[in-house]
Structure 1
Amino acid sequence: MIGSELAGVDQRLPGGAPPVLMYHSVQDYVSDPYRVTVRPERFARQLRWLRLRGWTGVGMGELLRAHRRGRARGLVGLTFDDGYADFDDTVVATLREHGFTATVFVLAHRLGGYNAWDGDGPRKSLMNAEQVRRVARQGMEIGSHGLLHRPLSELPHTEMVDEVHRSRAELTELLGVAVEGFCYPYGDLDRRTMREVDQAGYSYACAVRPASLACGLAIPRIHVGDRDNELRLEAKRWRARLRPVQ
């Protein structure tokens, strides 16, 4: 269990929590060394499979509110890390075709930039401020991914605090509504960063893999890639259900 230094944080991952899928970029590609890109055709098939299985994709805020009310049956969380421009160009239209929504976690100090942290990968454009506002108007939830996409547990304390607090403040100002969700870059977290996320006022935070720290501020997710057909998605979903979370 999480130690007393996180007293006041909701330390329990809600029992029977619905699955959460983790995407990054959706576009055609030649090289993808970090396996963060899904081709549009594959993405459309994945969403169609979810819908035919009776699932409805929603953003994290909606998913967690429904779960607290006991009404999350048939819902699956859809999340997109980094805020790539293809979320606006490609993803939103495909989501809306199926009546789905999603949460996109953006980097407050890289709006309109590119994925400079992926030194060996292809350059990918990130949404600018107007694109972020546009997808929010279309029903998508905007969350914070920090300022610059840095591993928070490795940063000096003042820089880590800045990544967590300033990103929420700036995105809230940009959107005119409070940003409720945070996503740890690289899935990198520890008790110190989780405590800061809580103190910054976020309602939830997403991690990557399940771990002993899993709770409402470290929600594990299922990575989805371009090779994931229907059988692979089903296998990943069942593995996630069977994997113990403390």
Structure 2
Amino acid sequence: MGGRKNNRLDKNAGVIKGKEKESLSDVAYQAVLQGLFDRIVPVGAFVSQSKLVELLGVPIQPLRDALRVLEAEGVLEIHPRSGIQFLKPDLELIRSTYQFRTLIEKAAVRHFAEMGDAETAVNLLEEHRDVVGLIEKNDIDQDILERIEGLEQSLHGNIIASMNNPLIENTGRRLKNYVVLIRLERLITKPLALRSLKEHIAILEACVARDADRAEAAVADHFHAAMQRILGFI
């Protein structure tokens, strides 16, 4: 009896430790990404693991776990006994990212337009129109920037989530990380913000109307224009 109880306790302890390790690895994963997004770790930097521990304040083992995941996702490259090379966005990454996002979200937005929650689409449309009106009357400040980013996350997140496919959602999150890295050095001006939001509105108007063809075309137009904005062509 006693031996069985001990085995059960040991097994449960192992599960708990595994969950703690997984949780710490998730925290480390988010810390690395946030360090990049907040420019604590410069884009394209080459740093040691010990320096990352110092910069991010995370333990070494969860950090190593997170770095392996991020390497698989293409955010960085691990050089054994040397350091970590972080991704520096270039023309090929920009092209590949927006091409892949277009392929995924053209299919997803058709699903969202045809079968997505109507109230969600209507609410998103109203929120976009409110922020457009706000930008047209005011200069862009931090509060408006945060609202723009929130709308960006909400629109594309809901479109992807409508597929109810974990593989697509994981890919969408990975692509979103690339987009954030690509945009880090980009200044968001009033004209650029208005163009992007009005492209969102075109997508949402098509979804509210249950017009899948128009929604798909609007998504394709949006990503094409977004890539052109990143490259400085418009």
TM-score by length of 1: 0.23
**Which structure would you say has the larger Rg?**
2
Pick the structure with more strand per residue. 1
Structure with more helix by fraction: 2
Alignment TM-score, normalising by the size of structure 2 = 0.23
